[in-house]
């Protein structure tokens, strides 16, 4: 497999569901960025996206997935369809069957276990039907919530990459975590 198929049904457990990213998610995403002025940094962006940028991403999503370049899944509760956050698959390397995950949650959805559950459900899908062999996540040293959620989802902390990423004029250390099939 060298693409990420569109989901016929959401991926889910009894507490969280992941479905394809669609344009109707945009208002909730914009609200989340408004409610957390630092969310764009956690989402790996230089600034919050505009509604037009989010719309363009939603339009490109089927082609990006078909090309195997990545995937964006919207996090929802199983009994609702309101966007609570997103999980992105990016930096895909099909030759080595690995990809990087990035996750964010709206402020009002944090602390409820949605992040760890979404990571686990996505891990099952990516390491199973999508045939990935390794998933990676990176976290700043002070993002304890992300490291706890990833650990609870089965990700192993591998170490600290010193001066790994540039943030404005500084170089920052990043914690690298991974999930492989044996961790499931």
What's the structural domain count of the chain? 1
Specify if 159 maps to a domain.
no
Q: Along the 184 residues of the chain, how does pLDDT read in single tens digits?
A: 689 999 999 999 999 999 999 999 999 999 999 999 999 887 778 899 999 999 999 999 999 999 999 999 999 998 899 999 999 999 999 999 999 999 999 999 999 999 999 999 999 999 999 999 999 999 999 999 999 999 999 999 999 999 998 877 889 999 999 999 999 8
Specify if 152 maps to a domain.
no
Query: Is 47 within 8 Å of 40 (Cβ atoms)?
Result: yes
Specify if 148 maps to a domain.
no
Query: What CATH number is attached to the domain comprising 87?
Result: 3.40.630.30
Specify if 104 maps to a domain.
yes
Structure token digits, residue 30: 């914009």
Residue positions counted in the chain: 184
Nearest residue to 132 (alpha-carbon basis) of 156, 99, 102, 155 = 99
Specify if 174 maps to a domain.
no
Per-residue model confidence (pLDDT) at position 127: 97
d(CA 29, CA 148): 24
Q: Order of strands across the sheet with 85-93?
A: 11-12, 17-20, 71-76, 85-93, 98-105, 134-140, 170-179, 156-167
Question: Residues near 172 by Cβ (< 8 Å), separated by ≥ 6?
Answer: 140, 141, 163, 164, 165, 166
Per-residue model confidence (pLDDT) at position 1: 63
Q: Identify any residues that bridge with 127 across adjacent strands, giving them in sequence order.
A: none
Per-residue model confidence (pLDDT) at position 28: 97
Question: Residues near 147 by Cβ (< 8 Å), separated by ≥ 6?
Answer: 139, 157, 175, 177
DSSP three-state, residue 44: coil
* Domain around 102: 11-135
Specify if 89 maps to a domain.
yes
Specify if 81 maps to a domain.
yes
Please state, in angstroms and as integers, the Cα–Cα distance from residue 3 to each residue in 112, 144, 163, 179, following that order.
Answer: 31, 32, 32, 19
pTM: 0.94
d(CA 125, CA 13): 12
Specify if 118 maps to a domain.
yes
Distance of CA 68 to the CA centre of its chain: 16
């Amino acid at each position: 497999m060298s693409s990420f198929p569109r989901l016929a049904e959401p991926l889910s457990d009894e507490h969280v569901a992941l479905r394809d990213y669609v344009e109707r998610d945009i208002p909730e995403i914009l609200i989340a960025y408004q409610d957390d002025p630092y969310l764009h940094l956690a989402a790996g962006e230089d600034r919050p996206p505009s509604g037009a940028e989010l719309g363009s991403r939603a339009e490109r999503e089927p082609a990006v997935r078909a090309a195997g370049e990545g995937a964006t899944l919207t996090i929802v509760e199983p009994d609702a369809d309101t966007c609570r956050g997103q999980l992105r698959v990016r930096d895909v390397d099909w030759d080595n069957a690995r990809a990087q995950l990035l996750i964010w949650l709206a402020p009002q959805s944090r602390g409820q276990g949605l992040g760890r559950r979404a990571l686990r459900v996505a891990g099952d899908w990516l390491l199973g039907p999508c045939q990935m062999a390794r998933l990676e996540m990176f976290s700043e040293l002070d993002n304890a919530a992300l490291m706890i959620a990833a650990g609870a989802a089965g990700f192993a902390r591998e170490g600290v990459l010193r001066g790994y990423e540039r943030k404005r004029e500084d170089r920052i250390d990043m914690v690298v975590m991974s999930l492989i099939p044996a961790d499931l």
